[in-house]
Amino acid sequence: MAAAVTIGVSAAIIGSTVASLPPSCVSTIVNNVAYQRCGSTWYQPVYSGTTVQFVVVTAPH
């Protein structure tokens, strides 16, 4: 009897914003800009008042 396996895949859309990141993200600085890299998805922190949010960006060069 074969078991069914469902794998959830979540693609991050460039320009979308999230309020928090998974704990596995790595802080990376490229060209004096701070990013968070979570697997293959890159985020740049932005401030909305005193709240930090993260915008999905293309991988920096």
- Going from N- to C-terminal start, the domains of the chain cover 19-57
Q: What is the pLDDT of residue 11?
A: 63
Q: What is the pLDDT along the chain (61 residues), one digit of tens a residue?
A: 454 443 444 568 999 999 999 899 999 999 999 999 999 999 999 998 999 999 999 999 8
Q: What is the pLDDT of residue 48?
A: 87
Q: How far is Cα 61 from Cα 51, in angstroms, rounded to an integer?
A: 27
Q: How far is Cα 58 from Cα 15, in angstroms, rounded to an integer?
A: 9
Q: What is the pLDDT of residue 10?
A: 54
Enter the pTM of the model: 0.77
**29 in Cβ contact with 35 (< 8 Å):** yes
